[in-house]
Structure 1
Amino acid sequence: MPPMPTSQHGGMRGPSAFDKWKMGAMLGGSVGLIMGFIFGGFNIMRYGAGTQGPLRMLGTYMLGSGATFGFFMSIGSVIRTEAPSGKNPIAYEALMRMRRPTIEFERRKEP
């Protein structure tokens, strides 16, 4: 998602890096909770809950996977949506190369 253009006169602005971080953490946390529920439920049915009981064991699976996936998703969302500017010349050059029109050559006809 490209960043929204900033205006000189105090108009709308794009989300800040902290907003992107929060959004990635919430999205990753919710996906991690769901995955923890699925895999934790499967492991509890397969191997049993142990001494902690099924709900506590399922909660442990869900919180562990939610925290892990949320952490990595939050970092990835900030890195992914970083604004292309002159600060990172390699990324800026790659972006400009992608925006160039493609060059098409005609096929040679065999004599």
Structure 2
Amino acid sequence: MTMTVASKPFYKDQKCWDKLKVGFLIGACVGIASGAIFGGYRGLRFGYRGQELIYHTTKEMSSGAITFGTFMAIGTGIRC
């Protein structure tokens, strides 16, 4: 039984702009996840409940998504 190996990685055919978009999306996903974890924990620690907790957590998630996404896009752009 033999396995075939791909001749080149799939990302070799992508343009630099596509790589930047994917880098931003991956960073945004990481930022959303970390914002949900740390923002939720911090909100509960400060005593927020209900609407306040949701508002605080979503604010942390959006700022984390923008920050991580930007840095991942910059890092991907450097590698283009």
TM-score by length of 1: 0.58
Q: Which of the two has higher C-alpha Rg? A: 1
Q: Confirm or deny: 8 A CA contact 2:44 2:53 kept in the other structure.
A: no
Partners of 2:62 and 2:47 lie apart in 1 by 19
Q: State whether structure 2 residue 70 is matched by structure 1 residue 65.
A: no
Task: Report deviation, 1:63.
Answer: 0.2
Q: Residues 1-111 of structure 1: matches in 2 within 5 Å?
A: 4=12, 14-49=13-48, 53-80=52-79, 82=80
Query: How far apart are residue 48 of structure 1 and its match?
Result: 2.2
Q: Once the two structures are aligned, what percentage of the paired residues are identical?
A: 36
Gaps of 5+ in 2: 1-8
| Runs of 4 or more consecutive aligned structure 1 residues displaced over 2 Å after TM superposition | none
Q: Which structure shows the higher helix fraction? A: 2
Looking at both structures, which has the greater relative contact order when contacts are Cα pairs under 8 Å and sequence separation is at least 6?
2
Partners of 1:20 and 1:36 lie apart in 2 by 24
- The whole-number CA distance in structure 2 between the counterparts of 1:27 and 1:71 is 10
Shift of residue 71, structure 1, vs aligned partner: 0.6
CA RMSD of aligned residues (A): 1.9
Alignment TM-score, normalising by the size of structure 2: 0.78
